[in-house]
A and B are shown apart, each in its own frame.
Chain A
Amino acid sequence: MKYFHLIWSALFRRKTRTVFTLLSVLAAFLLFGLLDSVRTAFANAGGSVAGVDRLITVSKVSFTMALPKSLLPRIEAVPGIAQVSYANWFGGIYQDPKNFFPNEAVAENFLDLYPEWSLSDAERTAFKGTRTGAVVGATLARKFNWKLGDKIPLQATIFPQKDGSNTWTFDLVGIFHAKDPKLEGQENVLFFNWSYFDEASRFRNGSVGWYATKLSDRGRADQVAQAIDRLSADSDHETKTQSEQAFTAALVSQFADIGLIVGAIMGAVFFTLVLLTGNTMAQAVRERVPELAVLKTIGFSNKSVLGLVLSESVLLLVLGGVIGLAVAGVVVGIVRVKLGATVPLARVGGPIWLRGLALMVVIGFIVGVLPAIRGMRLRIVDALSGR
């Protein structure tokens, strides 16, 4: 487009101002990218599980409701399944609620499903052989300065022991590491033996919080998920089988309407952005009145001037927005690797980019239209004589 250099040079006429405006556009679209990624992750939570190789099965009614342990052999019999394990959320507190970290009662084979965690064979055996044994992620061990052999007391918030005591004391028998250093952020979990939990707990007997299933063929994730849920169809414990991401998303959705929150935040952000960039564009046109008049003198039509100013404003938004979304893509990529399923984030892919680009163009138009009309309407003779 032969007018591009005109638009570009007009945009960078005041470098500092344009750079600052670009930064605010960038920040707004960075935020948009992150929030839309969260929103998308939640929106997709109930959706397809295609392509995953691990599934989580929880009660359809509420993930806080337990499932009968009798389901285990039936799930194991579903074709396409390599291994099934199960776990219970414990929710114990170490010394102070501020020290929050996930702690779960897990089946013997639970860690076998998570090859991304490495635990030495000796520690693995010790965990299986110690009734009150617990293993923790290396990050967590570092944080509380725990060593093998330490006793770790947790205050139960949901599950007292049979004798009424709320203190569960575990023997630290293993420390696991993430094989991929990028996953270090996820090394903050404590696991202990489900059998101990089941025996010593006052109210629990023979029920589990959720089943974790490893597939033998990730291409059949959808069919397997449906087959598992069919096992309990029309029973008093209907299940919902989903990906780990979706499970986490469903968990958070219990507490907040993500779509509404994201919408409200973005509304406020874009409203501010419109005011800010609108002001920049109005100023840019105001101080360029004589130059626009010269273009008209030379023979540029009113429509061309309108188009030039509108393009400038759209270019401003697209330039800042594309960089912002690209940064969001990188950030989401890193966070997804580091925190995995603990933070539900969708990849910043095609749909988010499409929505983002549409927003950039629309905001560019909104912001540019008044200054553009002003530029279009200016009378040459008045503008040239500074009237």
Chain B
Amino acid sequence: MGVLVEIRKLSKVYERGKERLEVLHHVDLDIEQGDFLALMGPSGSGKTTLLNLIGGLDSPTEGSLTVAGQRIDNLGEGALAKWRAGHVGFVFQFYNLLPMLSARKNVELPLLLTRLSAAQRKRNAGVALDLVGLSERSSHKPGELSGGQQQRVAIARAIVSDPTLLVCDEPTGDLDRNSAEEILRLLQQLNRDHGKTIIMVTHDPKAAEYARHVLHLDKGTLVEQPEALQV
């Protein structure tokens, strides 16, 4: 399969007053279409920063970033927002659901930006919730769901608009072992059965075992070449 994400000499510098912090330094990386990549490394090594750049949440200081043939490193704020809506699904450590909305309304959020009718939005959200095994909880609010269930709603929200790329920042970081395994199996299933390309940041080696490849980041540089994992 072809390369989906092509990263060349990617650097990110944060400037705080006089302080200049180079969080990523000349990162080169290709991510294959259909890959499930785990990004590991010590806290503060730049994992989240790299993931945010790939997901188009932030722009790099230097280098190029191409996703599905499109350069996104030089897109402006508005264009980047549009690009995210069409190409990326996000899953965060703390689920980040809107507390006032039901599970289904949360899942529908990305579809509000499409031309789908209310009925189509409802149906698609239903399909996504079904896929994560929560169809019978669709009218529950996040506060009425367990952590693992909330994360499954978040995954449903991330995949509902069928994005090119699924980007997960420590998706199991706040979950107990059982819930974490459920989430990881769900991601694995999305990758295997539905061909979703997934990039997942984690500091848990057990979690990384669910991925096809593991990469280590240290002080802003990749320290190993991706090694093939037999899962």
Contacts and interface: CB of A to CB of B under 8 A. Distances in A.
A375 to B, nearest CB: 14
Contacts of B78: 301-302
Nearest to A384: B92
A290 B118 CA distance: 26
Given A3-B112, A381-B58, A385-B48, A298 B98 contact: no
A374 to B, nearest CB: 16
Given A5-B101, A9-B98, A298 B113 contact: yes
B169 to A, nearest CB: 8
B84 A381 contact: no
Contacts of B139: none
Contacts of A296: 81
Chain B at the A interface: SS class: helix
A5 B102 CA distance: 11
Interface residues of A, number: 25
B228 interface: no
A291 interface: yes
Give the contact-size bracket for chain B.
20 to 34
A299 B85 contact: yes
A380 B92 CA distance: 13
B101 A290 contact: no
Contact of B109 (A10, A298, A385): A298
A2 B118 contact: yes
Contacts of B57: 297, 380-381, 384
B86 to A, nearest CB: 7
Nearest to B154: A294
A13 B100 contact: yes
Interface string A163-200: 00000000000000000000000000000000000000
B110 A294 contact: no
B96 A294 contact: yes
B99 interface: yes
30 contacts: A2-B118, A5-B105, A6-B98, A6-B112, A12-B100, A290-B96, A291-B99, A293-B96, A294-B97, A294-B98, A295-B109, A296-B81, A297-B55, A297-B84, A297-B90, A297-B96, A298-B84, A298-B109, A298-B157, A299-B81, A299-B82, A299-B85, A299-B86, A300-B113, A301-B78, A301-B82, A302-B78, A302-B81, A384-B57, A384-B96
Interface of B: 48-49, 52, 55, 57-58, 77-78, 81-82, 84-86, 90, 92, 96-101, 105, 109-110, 112-113, 118, 157
